[in-house]
Amino acid sequence: MCRACVRSLITDHLTSGLWRAALSRRRFLTYAVWGAAAAAITAGREAHAADGAEVIFRNGTIYPMTAGGRPVEALAIGGGRVVAAGSASDLSTLARGATRIVDLQGRTLFPGFIDPHHHTVLSALFANLLLNIGYPKYSNRVDALAALKTVVGKVPPGQWIRAGYYDNLLQGGDLSMEELNAISTQHPIFIFYVNGHVGAANAMAFKLAKIPQDVGELSGGGHFGRAPDGKLNGLIYEEPALLRFIAVAAPAVTPELMATALASYTKQVASAGNTTLHEPGTIKPDWVQPLAKLSNALDVRMSASLSTDSLEASKAFVSLGPGAKARKIPDSRFSLYGIKFWADGSNQAETAAQTKPYLHTTKRGKANYTESQMAELCLAAKKAGWPILIHCQGDAAIDDALDALEQAYGPNPATGLNRVEHATMARPDQLDRMKRLGAEPTFLPDLLYLYGVAYRDQILGPERTEFMEPMAACVKAGIPFSLHTDSPVSPAGPLRLVQIAVARRCVIDKSVIGADQAISAHEALKAITIHAARQIGLEDSIGTLDPGKDADLTILESDPYKVSQDAISNIKVSETWVAGERKFG
């Protein structure tokens, strides 16, 4: 996911409106009440836990995801934390008169599932502000355009039509200015593609964005599509160009809308089995305290990293803890881990930086920074006391990123675990290098599920596609990794990630993409629990059911170890708990 949508759709409006309002005395008093209440609840629970367990779960299968991975019969929690995990008879001694016994009735309990790369705020706002014309709702461009036409007929002329999630690969190609003009010349129309790097607009939107016919490439790589006659064709590429449209199309966002959007969205992701989300690079420093206060009222634990643009401001949070661990904001369920930058673009848009050309073309994509610039960004983050997260889709970008990591951090730095985001086209030699440096990748499995056929037949060819998302190679090399959705790029749902990693089946033609890179359900489940927790600096508090850790739990109706690989994502989520509180179910 690129920064364009965040910087303008959210940042400009929120900095001047939402968060300035949120920082008013009234807002702070409101948030302070939430924070004080949460602290009082936590203190009360810790006192009670000393007298025994508040809740004991039994009569099901409980996977602590600790060393050995063996299931246990019972789990006791109290004070918002895990008290013990073991046999039902041993844990029965922790029961007191007020202890609640939860009969799992054969259900399966895991540590809470974690999405370590999920644009929470952005996803919440998109769900409220953009018309969804994406692939899950409309399988082709004709139906997507018809949905736009229907909306146009219901709003007065001059009002912006904003839509998102359009998928050029799955829905039948790029949208054009001509097509969007045919829908309306009286409404400005802007469409944001699901890949986060491309958009499309009609002529009226181009006029309001002040984009002339003779516009050239913008500073930072932004550019616009051209028809064979040289005229603008409605396509908008990369952050600097997308910003021109988002700046005029985005509505003002109120504090009430933000709170409502996040409350609604976190209920949705909790129902999918998530208990923690990490938002990488799309949180601004002045959002931290308001989001931290709001986090106490949400249905998931929130984590985030700042971008390299915010390095100076990030220093205000360094004193909250050591760099190797998450910086936890007091009296909240919000923490910070790392600094992020984007080394390249998207394979789907053929803007990711590759060492070999894209299929049937001479294009190799382009890195957003030179190798020396990347090293400077890494060094600045290290000096500020943070680990780094680097978005890398193409293998050329990974080469440059690893060079920068080695120059700036060296192997296994004291500042904490460095991450390679997506690492889609990582080569075997690059995995070896990650291991030497102590860096870890986080993979986006939906690239296999949604685009495996497109990568194979249209984008990169069979040979390179077979090794994309090289999870089994990581297992063999002893390199821990996590799995993520990059929402809103792909839908929330940790079990969906597990199924894709195990089956590697593309939804388009049901073919298996890189069968030798399939992994076991156990390795995939570690990637959304213990490994994901470590990659956001919270391994001491979540990710396993060790005594003393926070009681974040996901309870499933069926056991993912015991169903067929193509049935894992269909398992019903029964309940989720965060810090000993049931949030869903």
What string of DSSP letters covers 428-465? Answer: HHHHHHHHHHT-EEEE-THHHHHHHHHIIIIIS-HHHH
Answer with the residue of higher pLDDT: 211 or 351.
211
8 A C-beta contact, residue 123 and residue 490: no
The answer on pLDDT for 187 being more than 90 is yes
The reported pLDDT for the residue numbered 219 is 75
Q: State how far the alpha carbon of 470 is from the alpha carbons of 358, 365, 409, in Å.
A: 19, 21, 24
pLDDT of 263 over the 90 cut: yes
pLDDT for position 432:
98
How sure is the predictor about 19, in pLDDT bands with cuts at 50, 70 and 90? Answer: very low
What tens digit of pLDDT does each residue of 20-47 get? 444 443 333 333 333 333 333 333 334 3
Tokens for 110, please give them: 């895991």
**What mean pLDDT comes out for the span 532-560?**
98
Q: What is the pLDDT of residues 529-538, one digit of tens each?
A: 999 999 999 9
Out of 59-68, 245-254, 421-430, least confident range = 245-254
* Residue 3 binned pLDDT confidence (cut-offs 50, 70, 90): low
Domains within the chain, CATH numbers bracketed: 122-249 (3.10.310.70), 343-519 (3.20.20.140)
So what's the pLDDT on residue 258? 81
Percent over 70 (pLDDT), the chain: 91
CB–CB of 575/313 below 8 Å?
Answer: no
Is residue 145 pLDDT above 90, yes or no?
A: yes
pLDDT of residue 108: 98
User: Once rounded to an integer, what is the mean pLDDT over residues 455-459?
Assistant: 96
Global confidence as pTM: 0.88
State what percent of residues in the chain have pLDDT above 90: 81
At residue 42, the pLDDT reads: 38
- Region 229-247: what's the mean pLDDT? 90
Among 305, 394, 378, CA closest to 345: 394
> What is the reported pLDDT for 220?
66
Given a cut of 60, is residue 400 above it in pLDDT? yes
How far is the CA of 172 from the CAs of 143, 269, 346, 511, 531, in angstroms?
11, 29, 18, 20, 37
Chain-wide mean pLDDT for the chain?
Answer: 90
Q: Counting Cβ atoms within 10 Å, is residue 567 exposed (0-12), middle (13-18) or buried (19+)?
A: middle
What are the backbone dihedrals phi and psi of residue 160, each rounded to the nearest 5 degrees, phi first? -65, 140
pLDDT, residue 349, reads 87
pLDDT value at position 11?
47
Checking DSSP bridges between strand 131-132 and strand 161-166, what pairing results, if any? parallel
pLDDT for 154 equals 94
Q: Tell me the pLDDT tens digit for each residue of 351-388.
A: 899 999 999 999 999 898 999 999 999 999 999 999 99
- Mean pLDDT (whole number) for 323-334: 94
Three-state DSSP class for 197?
coil
Q: If we measure between CA atoms, which residue out of 270, 320, 262 comes closest to residue 293?
A: 262
pLDDT at site 413:
97
Quickly state the pLDDT bin for 321 (edges 50, 70, 90): confident
Cα distance from N-terminal residue to C-terminal residue, the chain:
31
Which range is least confidently modeled, 223-232, 255-264, 349-358, 550-559?
Answer: 255-264
Per-residue model confidence (pLDDT) at position 50: 53
- Chain centre to alpha carbon of residue 416: 20
Helices (H), 87-154: 88-91, 120-129, 141-152
Give the model's pLDDT for residue 68. 72
Question: Which has the closest alpha carbon to 426: 437, 441, 411, 439?
Answer: 441
Q: Is the pLDDT reported for residue 239 higher than 90?
A: no
